[in-house]
Amino acid sequence: MALAAAAFMGVACCMAATGRDAATEARIDSLMARMTLQEKIGQLNQLNAARFDTLGAAVAQGRVGSIINEVDPEVVNSLQRKAVEESRLGIPLIFARDVIHGFNTVFPIPLGQAATWNPQLVEEAARIAAVEATASGIRWTFSPMMDVSRDARWGRIAESAGEDPLLNERMGLAMIRGYQTDNLADPTAMAACAKHFAGYGFSEAGKDYNTTWLPLPLLEDVVLPPFEAAAGAGVATFMTSFNDINGVPSSGNSWLMRDVLRDRWRFDGVLVSDWNAITEMINHGVAADKLHATMLAATAGVDIDMEGHAYPDAMEALVREGRLDETVVDGLVRNVLRLKFRLGLFDNPYIDLSRPSPAYAPAHLAAATRAAEEGTILLKNGGMLPLGLKPGKVAVIGPMADAPYDQGGTWAPDLQHERSVTPLAALRRLYGEENVIHAPGLGYTRDKSLDGIQAAVKAAREADVAVCFVGEEAVMSGEAHSMADLGLKGAQTALLEAVCATGKPVAVVFMAGRPLTAGKEIDMADAVLYAFHGGTMAGEALANIISGKANPSGKLPVTMARMTGQYPMYYAHKNTGRPPEWTVDLDSIPVEALQTSTGCTSYYLDAGKDPLYPFGYGLSYTTFDISAPRLSASSIAIGSETPLTVECTVTNTGDREGAETVQLYVRDLVGSLARPVKELKDFRKVTLKPGESKVVSFALTPGQLSFHGLDGKPLIEAGDFQVWTAGNSVDGTPVSFSLTD
Ligand code: NOJ
């Protein structure tokens, strides 16, 4: 039986981030009463600092409300002085920046942070980023990106927490807590920004900025939940996405921005457009000109036009001609002023230049090392790793072994790459210069020249073991860096083939912005680590893992496909009417085979049915056993306030300390709509000494078993479910329970 389930869906939506106080509202009223229309529009105008020549004058005239990309504290203070001391009303500016995975100290890319499955560590990283960035005057970061993404062709998968809504939610909320703290007015706090609202991760064919077609159940079950949680947790700002959803570009989507974000979730913070996204509605073909685009965006409730010049160019005329009611503009301005009050900028507008620079503080570097360690995934280990502290001679090979810029990853504009500790530097320090033979083989990851390969082979021959660092340069993932082929680029495969042919033990370390389709190269290696781009301390972290000073505990936040053509590929897929039980390999099909001989089920003849590695997967230098789950009851009523308790025992069955992430999956066996074969409902990372066991307990509420119908309305349906606990998305022993009316 299907019931409307608003009561069960709504925990987060009841915690809306209102936080208005009468005194602030009165100060906003008083300012608004004195503002001219141009000054109001100025508050909605965000400009890029590159316009420095004209910026100062525009600020002094009250024509700019916030500035993006100025990080020189002296310049920040001087522009702020123009706003506070020279503009008519003295309204301070907000300085914003994409502080996505660290500021001075660069942390792993968000996908790598998600691989830690450790929200506390991610919160710590965000806190450190805020401490460093605010010292340069940045009080607003455009992070976290909460776009669920299931297609690794999309370059921005690097900036997400991967394919799962819950993982994106947990990581995003951790970042929000770290940036904002519980007091936005603290000078080391930054306003966070939940982006890109919404659907951007579903860009068709993984091509950036592309269109999306999103039916309501997908939107409501997968795309929106992390954003709803962010609104509920008090994120200060949201950003519209570049894409259109079903033909409606987000910056003009009144349903999404007003009905969902403002009315349903009660978000009362600032909504900023993505860069030029208001004006780009002309390119989308839904707006004829800037007047039209402004009308659409203002009506949808977009408060700030980021470097789009639509509001400053068109809004005044729209109001003067009576096409846009000034009360609509007032609503947008009030939101911006409220954020400035919340940040404490009216009382404390300047950076304290006497504050000692927090950049690269030892504690920051230590946290970055831990994050890079925990974000590294051991995919394969025939026993070669760890190498220990005296492995003899080590050949350090590959274009990513000493790539201080590229290990920073996609969003590291403030990285000083001379501060990066590369794997080469760290291994030399650890093992001694005399024990490390360095031969990069290739100049960079796309390098097609075979000239350096012989030197790499020679190094491997002279050494006892070889460690090859391959992957992608930073520039190959991120915004506008989508790829149609996810294989290793350049001559990297040839390099690995040549090194492996020496017969020496070879460990391969991937440093990339996304999962690569590297099955062939993984097969060749004796051990494989997948590290993503690990930031400033990537090399230190990898040396610790390679030597065994640290034990890997990362888990894939995204399915790793065998072939690019398998994407979009994700663990929470539907079963289809024809799920494959067996498959046939293309090469084994006889010539003139019968059409039905391959099984007529849902798989690829050349790639099979399975990924290379599943979501949630990752090994350790120790081993774990996770018991079948024990349930507090065999059924739970839809209206029950008491959750079902699901507990299991996790035991370290190996001989060294390690951490395991216990993942809780659920399957809804029969629904009024086809349901995913499994959904992650919770997870917990636990550290265990050898032989130690711990009981891990999860609370599963009826609300977590609900989903959305074709009309986008929540449903909760009685019926049979399975639940299980495992160390990845393919293992585990399902146990049945039912949800009753
Ligand atoms: C465009 C990107 O989509 C967005 O994520 C970023 O915050 C803005 N540019 C500002 O740099």
pLDDT for 6 equals 37
Beta bridge partners of 721: 668, 737
**Minimal-distance CA residue to ligand 1 atom 1:** 275
pLDDT band (50, 70, 90) for residue 12: very low
Q: How does the average pLDDT of the chain come out, rounded? A: 96
From ligand 1's centre to the CA of 188, what distance in Å? 22
Q: Flag the least confident range among 45-59, 278-292, 593-607, 644-658.
A: 45-59
- Report the C-alpha gap between 442 and 516 in whole angstroms: 19
Per-position DSSP letters for 224-273, written without gaps between them: SHHHHHHHHTT-SEEEE-SSEETTEEGGG-HIIIIIIIIIIS---SEEE-
Helix (H, G, I), strand (E, B) or coil at 706: coil
Expressed as residue numbers, the domain containing 602 is: 576-610
Pairing of strands 94-97, 140-141: parallel
Residue 54, pLDDT score:
87
| Arithmetic mean of pLDDT, 534-553 | 98
Q: Give the CATH number for residue 445.
A: 3.40.50.1700
H-helix or E-strand containing 175? helix 165-180
Structure confidence by residue, pLDDT tens digits, 416-460: 999 999 999 999 999 999 999 999 999 999 999 999 999 999 999
CATH of the domain at 51: 3.20.20.300
Q: What is the mean pLDDT of residues 565-593?
A: 96
Q: Residue 305 to residues 38, 290, 291, 524: CA-CA distances in angstroms?
A: 14, 12, 13, 51
What are the structure tokens assigned to 484, written together? 């149609």
The domain boundary residue, chosen from 496, 530, 547: 547
Q: Which amino acid is at 650?
A: V
Q: Which of 273, 275, 410 is the pocket-test mutation for ligand 1 (most atoms within 8 Å of CB)?
A: 275
Structure tokens given for 23: 């005194």
What is the rounded CA–CA span in Å between residue 53 and residue 58?
10
Same domain, 311 and 370: no
- Give the residue from 547, 562, 584 where a domain finishes: 547
CA distances from 548 to 13, 365, 430, 560 (A): 45, 20, 12, 25
Assign 50 a pLDDT band (cuts: 50, 70, 90).
Answer: confident
Structural domain tally of the chain? 4
Contact by Cβ (8 Å): 146, 194 = yes
Domain with residue 703: its CATH number is 2.60.40.10
Burial of residue 590 (number of CB atoms within 10 Å: 0-12, 13-18, 19+): exposed
Over 50: is that where the pLDDT of 5 sits? no
662 closest CA partner among 736, 613, 724:
724
Whose C-alpha lies nearest to ligand 1, atom 4? 274
Q: Whose CA is nearest to atom 7 of ligand 1?
A: 142
Say whether both 599 and 639 belong to one domain: no
For residue 172, the CA-to-ligand 1 centroid distance in Å is: 16
21: in domain: no
Interval 661-687 mean pLDDT = 98
Q: At 300, list the tokens.
A: 């949808």
Whether residues 145 and 242 share a domain: the answer is: yes
Shared domain check, 650 and 504: no
Clarify whether residues 174 and 230 are in a common domain: yes
- Cβ neighbors of 215 (< 8 A, separation 6 or more) are 710
What does the alpha-carbon distance between residue 454 and residue 38 come to, in Å, rounded to a whole number? Answer: 67
Q: Examine the domain organization and report whether 675 and 588 are in the same domain.
A: no
Phi-psi map region of 383: left, alpha, beta (phi>0 left; psi -120 to 50 alpha): left
Cα–Cα nearest to 172, from 616, 696, 557, 708 = 557
Protein residue with its CA nearest to atom 9 in ligand 1:
275
User: Is the pTM higher than 0.85?
Assistant: yes
242 CA to middle of ligand 1, Å? Answer: 9
Within-domain flag for 567: no
Which residues, other chains included, contact 22 with Cβ-Cβ below 8 Å and sequence gap of 6+? none
Residue 474, pLDDT > 80, answer: yes
pLDDT higher than threshold 60 for residue 555: yes
**What distance separates the 2 farthest-apart alpha carbons in the chain?**
83
* Separation of CA 46 and ligand 1 centre (Å): 13
d(CA 230, CA 219): 16
Residues 83 and 207 in one domain: yes
> For the residues of 55-82, what is the DSSP string, one character each?
HHHHHHTT--SEEES---HHHHHHHHHI
Residue 52 pLDDT grade (very low, low, confident, very high; cuts 50, 70, 90): low
Domain contains 31: no
In a domain, 46, yes or no: yes
At 558, the pLDDT band (50, 70, 90 cuts) reads very high
Q: Look at residues 538, 550, 537 and name the one whose alpha carbon lies nearest to residue 659.
A: 550
Q: Which atom of ligand 1 is nearest to the CA of 195?
A: 5
The arithmetic mean of pLDDT across residues 73-88, rounded, is 97
- Residue type, position 293, single letter: A
Q: Is 50 exceeded by the pLDDT of residue 7? A: no
Report the alpha-carbon distance of residue 697 to residue 473 in Å, rounded: 41
Q: How far apart are CA 130 and CA 177, in angstroms?
A: 11
CA distances 435 to 367, 500, 550, 610, Å, are 28, 20, 21, 41
**Residue 521: count of CB within 10 angstroms of its CB:** 22
- Looking at the predicted structure, is the pLDDT value of residue 9 above 60? no
Cα separation, 644 vs 632, whole angstroms: 6
Position 495 scores a pLDDT of: 98
Query: What are the φ/ψ torsions at residue 153 (nearest 5 degrees)?
Result: -65, -30
Pocket test for ligand 1, best of 306, 410, 414, 477 (most atoms within 8 A of CB): 306
- How far apart are alpha carbons 47 and 55 in whole angstroms? 8
Q: What is the dihedral of CA 190, 191, 194, 200, to 10 degrees?
A: -80
Query: Token pair of 343, please?
Result: 């940040």
Q: Whose CA is nearest to atom 3 of ligand 1?
A: 274
In a domain, 554, yes or no: no
- On whether residue 22 sits in a domain, the answer given is no
CA 67, CA 77: separation in Å to the nearest integer? 12
Residue 172: both structure tokens together: 């995003």
Residue 484 has pLDDT above 90, yes or no: yes
Concatenating the DSSP letter of every residue in 615-628 gives TT--B-SS-EEEPP
Distance of CA 221 to the CA centre of its chain: 18
Contact 54, 75 (CB under 8 A): no
611 within 8 A of 590, measured Cβ to Cβ: no
Distance 275 CA to ligand 1 centre (A): 6
> Pairing mode, if any, of strands 658-668 and 644-652?
unpaired
pLDDT the model gives residue 20: 86
CA distances from 633 to 125, 166, 197, 726 (A): 39, 25, 39, 20
For 411-432, give the DSSP string.
S-TT--GGG---HHHHHHHHH-
Strands (E), 541-629: 624-626
Say how many CA atoms lie within 13 Å of 664 toward its Cβ.
Answer: 23
- Separation of alpha carbons 237 and 184, rounded Å: 12
Q: What distance in angstroms lies between residue 71's CA and the mean position of ligand 1's atoms? A: 16
Count of CB atoms situated within 10 Å of the CB of 393 = 15
Q: In terms of domains, do 244 and 201 share one?
A: yes
Choosing from 97, 140, 142 the residue with most ligand 1 atoms within 8 A of its CB, the one to mutate for a pocket test is 142
Q: Phi, psi at residue 233, to the nearest 5°?
A: -85, 0
User: How is residue 379 written in tokens?
Assistant: 């995919």
Ligand 1 binding pocket, CB closer than 6 Å: 98, 142, 195, 274-275, 479
Q: Which of 432, 438, 426, 427 is nearest to 365 (CA)?
A: 426
Rounded distance between C-alpha atoms, residue 582 and residue 322, angstroms: 67
Q: Which residues are catalytic?
A: 274
* Residue nearest to ligand 1 atom 10, measured at CA: 275
Strand-pair partners of 193? 237
Same domain, 313 and 379: no
Average pLDDT over residues 464-486: 98
Number of CB atoms found within 10 A of residue 122's CB: 30
Same domain, 594 and 528: no
Question: Do 298 and 263 share a structural domain?
Answer: yes
Are residues 423 and 543 located together in one domain of the fold? yes
pLDDT tens digits, 107-144:
999 999 999 999 999 999 999 999 999 999 999 999 99
Residue 33 within a domain: no
Sign of the CA dihedral with 576 first, then 577, 582, and 587 last: negative
The answer to whether residue 559 is domain-embedded is no
Residues 6 or more apart whose CB falls under 8 angstroms from that of 689 comprise 652, 657
